[in-house]
Amino acid sequence: MSDWTRVCTREELPPGQHRALDVDGAQLLVANVDGEFHAIEDVCTHDGGDLAGGVQCGYEIECPRHGARFDLRTGRALCAPAYEPVAVFPIRIDADGVVWVRDDRWD
């Protein structure tokens, strides 16, 4: 089973913001959506764009390359030109308010 990777504290990522991080070579994006933390793969399924460079609006993030939008909660593609979802990853927040993520695709 893969290990958990520390992302930040709750306070370091306020609602409406997101950040990218490398987890064992995988590019992930962790977002705060109205106080709930979510993690998706930071690779657009249209043509590999860097989603973390895009604009977050509520639970949606827009790819800066061609405008596809994804649901940060589910990874679902919400509009063309992307049709396939991005991977989602488990998040946990410990008693100290530290946010952790894990790439569980290969468990």
CB atoms within 10 A of CB 106: 8
Min separation Cβ 82 and ligand FES, Å: 5
Q: CB nearer to ligand FES: give 78 or 93.
A: 78
Nearest Cα residue to 100 out of 1, 8, 2: 8
Q: CB nearer to ligand FES: give 39 or 68.
A: 68
Q: CB nearer to ligand FES: give 44 or 72.
A: 44
Nearest Cα residue to 75 out of 107, 105, 106: 105
Euclidean distance between CA atoms 31 and 33, whole angstroms: 6
Q: Footprint of ligand FES on this chain (CB under 6 A)?
A: 44, 46-49, 63, 65-68, 81-82
Q: CB nearer to ligand FES: give 7 or 62.
A: 62
Q: Is the dihedral of CA 81, 54, 8, 16 positive or negative?
A: negative
Residues in the chain: 107
